[in-house]
Structure 1
Amino acid sequence: MIDKDQIRQELHQRARELVPVLGERTAEAARLGKLPQATIDDFQAAGFFRILQPARYGGYELEPRDFFEVQMTLAEGCMSSAWVLGVVAIHNWQLALFDDRAQKDVWSEDDSTLISSSYMPVGKVTRVKDGFRLSGRWGFSSGSKHCDWVFLGAIVPPEKEGDAPDYRTFLLPRADYEIVDNWNVMGLEGTGSNDIVVDDVFVPDYRTHRSIDGFNQDSPGNAVNTAPLFRLPFGQIFVRAVSSSAIGALQGALNEYLAFNRERVGVNDGRRTVLDPSAQMVAAEATAVIDECKTVLFRNFDLMVARANAGQPLTLEERIKMRFDSAVVPEKCVQAIIKLFKCCGAMAIRNDHPINRHFRDILAGRVHVANGPDKYGRNLGGVLMGQDNTDFFL
């Protein structure tokens, strides 16, 4: 029996110790277009990928807030590193929802094996005996070169006319797909979010996970992974993996902003930046944004976990509100870092300026489809005003 409190303390300490190390590797990660292998090795050695992994396969089965605290801490040093950890480690949680045969396929020989993903529903699916034939090209598979399996999204055609489409996640081994090395971007360069190509491969039915099962919190994997952790709604977990790293990156940017401006004197007017009311205000505003985003994140996870422990599902309205809470985070962080950036003067446009990397990474994270608040805000507002819900990734 592991001591979870001790594990939590060790994980947080290891994350804090890695912040400066990751900061020093940002240039290398950008040059490589993926994380240095040393970073993945550090994450493996620290146990970060195991935080939400089933205990049956060497995982710690801690709570989501434990994982996201680690992710946000690491993002202070490098948002690309934290992004990849967030996405890939969440897959260890999702695999626990699959049929146990799929879990054994991935982890029976090596329970440190990693999975990348692209959930966009672009796959072409044909039903065949005992499974499906799958083809397609998916974009933005973060950390793909460090992973031996992939999750891919596709809609299974209904068996009967009039039935609802069946969105599923398909699990494929590395031999069944090609990674197209096409990651050439202005931010989050180190995530290595390359394209995935699949050409008519067979995927057994047990290596698929139905979105509706995740929504209903009743997946095949719950038969063997019985902890309440695995009864949390999938839609509420994954979206935080791509929004919460922005909070940590904003904290990292604020740290750099304060260090840069404490002794800075304007070369044109000779005035100290620390005495500039605007510079003072943007530091205060960024601090407030970080505190607000973390408070809402932890409040929501505390509620989710409490309900799961009690066997009581969240209401639809609560899920919709939490979905919007996640989507609005990167926009808040964008607005805060733009102000920090401007108050660093012309030096901030240099690629080697300490705040510049955070600036580009947060903007890049904001354009992820899960991080656009307008769609989810309109849905929340409409439901509050009596309209039907339009989002089912909840």
Structure 2
Amino acid sequence: MDHGGTTTRGCRYLTDRQVPRIVRGKNKAAPGEDKDAHATGRWLVEVGDSADETERDLHRTGLCRMLQPPRVGGADLDVGIIVDTCAAIARVCPSTAWNLGNLASHHWMLGYYQPAAQEEIWDISRDTLIATSLAFPAGRGRKVDGGYEVSGRWPLSSGVDNSDWNMLAFIVRERDDGPPVDQRFALVHRSQYEIIDTWHAVGLSGTGSKDVATRNLFVPEYRTLTAWALNGKPHPGSARKRNATTTGQPVGASVTVQIKVAKAGAHIDTAEMMMRAVCSHAMEIARAGREPRHEDELRYRRDAFFSVRLCLEAVNILMTV
């Protein structure tokens, strides 16, 4: 089916031009409405929606499936579109933007698993949400007959309350005191792990980035993925925040403030350009049917690190305003 049509599940396919239009519509809040942000306990919604309403909107518009393979009804858009989408949504609700960026990219990650794992999830529902915790040292595993035995307690599993599945990172050792022999992701159903409410943060409180834990869990081979399959790939970024006033006078009236804001803005714009360049280069390689070279992967990591550093410096600059 061509992009722009409707799937049998009623979910819109998305195009690069449709996404910004959907996001613009979602960003239209009533005057003063964004001042009354409230935590739902799962996602923070700053336009008056409930968590369930926000999740329904993300499914209805197809935003959660921006990167999902087209054979299961996904839009299969260029990876760069997720940067624009999350940046726009974060102007209204940073927590929703954070979770969307994570959850949408996990459909892309699932596409790297064996077909049996993909079918186990997408044959039931193509809209299924999958959380992750990518802290490899938090999980440990050993090879057993037919799969891996995995244990651990993983932090920062964003959107875990909304998700039916989770991808948990773990390090494989042949013996407890032995060296690592592999790093893998385990695809685990929510009935097989405990959700621990540890997320009481001030910032991004609505992401629900709680801990999850499991012990001596058998995970079949087909539900695991070596980390090398995803190595060197770009990760979606986050968004700029709105400006504010801190005195009775407009902040922008101060020349000193203008200089600092301009410097911070240059940092953010440079970081954004670097992210877009990485996404564009990765898509060129994918379209050509090639694998990234080692120097490409090093460049992606370098630019990702430096983009984050620029954004951190921009925040520090603005904190002095």
TM-score range, shorter chain: 0.7 to 0.9
- Please name the residue that 2:71 is paired with: 56
Q: Are 2:133 and 2:168, in contact at CA under 8 Å, matched by a contact in 1?
A: yes
SS at match of 2:2: coil
- Please name the residue that 2:193 is paired with: 177
Return the offset for 1:61.
0.8
Relative to the length of structure 1, the TM-score reads 0.70
- Please name the residue that 2:202 is paired with: 186
- Please name the residue that 1:286 is paired with: 264
State the distance in 2 between where 1:190 and 1:41 align: 16
Q: Are 1:15 and 1:73, in contact at CA under 8 Å, matched by a contact in 2?
A: yes
Aligned structure 1 segments of 4 or more residues deviating by more than 4 angstroms:
20-23
Q: Are 1:71 and 1:86, in contact at CA under 8 Å, matched by a contact in 2?
A: yes
- Please name the residue that 1:34 is paired with: 43
Moved more, 75-84 or 165-174: 75-84
State the distance in 2 between where 1:200 and 1:20 align: 48
Q: 1:273 to 1:101 in 2, by over 3 A?
A: closer
Q: Are 2:271 and 2:308, in contact at CA under 8 Å, matched by a contact in 1?
A: no
State the distance in 2 between where 1:297 and 1:146 align: 28
Which structure features the higher share of strand residues? 2
State the distance in 2 between where 1:157 and 1:165 align: 6
- Please name the residue that 2:221 is paired with: 205
Return the offset for 1:284.
1.8
Q: Are 2:172 and 2:180, in contact at CA under 8 Å, matched by a contact in 1?
A: no
Q: Are 1:19 and 1:74, in contact at CA under 8 Å, matched by a contact in 2?
A: yes
State the distance in 1 between where 2:14 and 2:99 align: 25
- Aligned residue-pair number: 303
Q: Are 1:158 and 1:166, in contact at CA under 8 Å, matched by a contact in 2?
A: no
Q: Are 1:52 and 1:59, in contact at CA under 8 Å, matched by a contact in 2?
A: yes
Alignment deviations for residues 181-216 of structure 1 (CA, whole Å, 9 cap, x no partner): 11011311111000001122221100000122334x
Q: Which of 14, 17, 20 pairs up with 2:25?
A: 17
State the distance in 2 between where 1:194 and 1:321 align: 32
Q: Are 1:32 and 1:190, in contact at CA under 8 Å, matched by a contact in 2?
A: yes
State the distance in 2 between where 1:110 and 1:315 align: 35
CA RMSD after TM alignment: 2.6
Q: 1:140 to 1:37 in 2, by over 3 A?
A: same
Matched AA of 2:37: A
Q: Are 1:26 and 1:190, in contact at CA under 8 Å, matched by a contact in 2?
A: no
Q: Does 1:79 align with 2:76?
A: no
Q: Are 1:26 and 1:78, in contact at CA under 8 Å, matched by a contact in 2?
A: no
State the distance in 1 between where 2:251 and 2:95 align: 30
SS at match of 1:11: helix
SS at match of 2:151: strand
- Please name the residue that 1:125 is paired with: 141
Q: 1:163 to 1:185 in 2, by over 3 A?
A: closer
State the distance in 2 between where 1:67 and 1:79 align: 14
Q: Does 1:324 align with 2:321?
A: no
Return the offset for 1:299.
1.3
Matched AA of 1:66: I
What is the percentage of aligned positions where both structures have the same residue?
Answer: 29
Relative to the length of structure 2, the TM-score reads 0.85
Q: 1:51 to 1:42 in 2, by over 3 A?
A: same
Moved more, 290-299 or 101-110: 290-299
State the distance in 2 between where 1:323 and 1:18 align: 32
Q: Are 2:42 and 2:161, in contact at CA under 8 Å, matched by a contact in 1?
A: no
Return the offset for 1:69.
1.2
Which structure features the higher share of helix residues? 1
State the distance in 1 between where 2:121 and 2:289 align: 29
State the distance in 2 between where 1:101 and 1:273 align: 57
- Please name the residue that 1:149 is paired with: 165
SS at match of 2:155: strand
- Please name the residue that 2:7 is paired with: none
